[in-house]
Amino acid sequence: MQTNNYKYSFFTLYFQYEAFREELLDLFSPGEIEVTGEGTPTATSKFEVQIVGGKMIHSKLGGEGFVNNKAKMDKIVAAIKQAM
């Protein structure tokens, strides 16, 4: 039973990431930004947005939750544009 919950949780988080990634890419011109994801074997619910070589702009584990509303997405987009 626990394995099924883990699989469900993994796939749910994966699809949330993919939806976030696609929405973010749609907000910029093609090739303007690159969005990558990497698994974290010790924290399955970790979700962070960081500019390469720059600061962390969103952290689920830091208390900001998943990117699930316009205000959170706007904050991330503004930080990316400022770094460009």
- Output the pTM of the full model: 0.73
Provide the residue ranges of all domains of the chain, joining segments of one domain with +. Answer: 2-83
Quote helix, strand, coil % in the chain, to nearest 5. 50, 10, 40
Amino acid at 29: S
Predicted pLDDT of residue 7: 46
Residue 78 has pLDDT above 90, yes or no: yes
Q: What's the CATH superfamily of 2-83? A: Glutaredoxin (3.40.30.10)
Is 49:58 a contact under the CB 8 Å cutoff? yes
- C-alpha 44/C-alpha 10 separation (Å) is 7
Q: Could you report the per-residue pLDDT of 45-75, keeping only the tens digit for each?
A: 778 888 888 888 988 888 888 888 899 999 9
Is 56:48 a contact under the CB 8 Å cutoff? yes
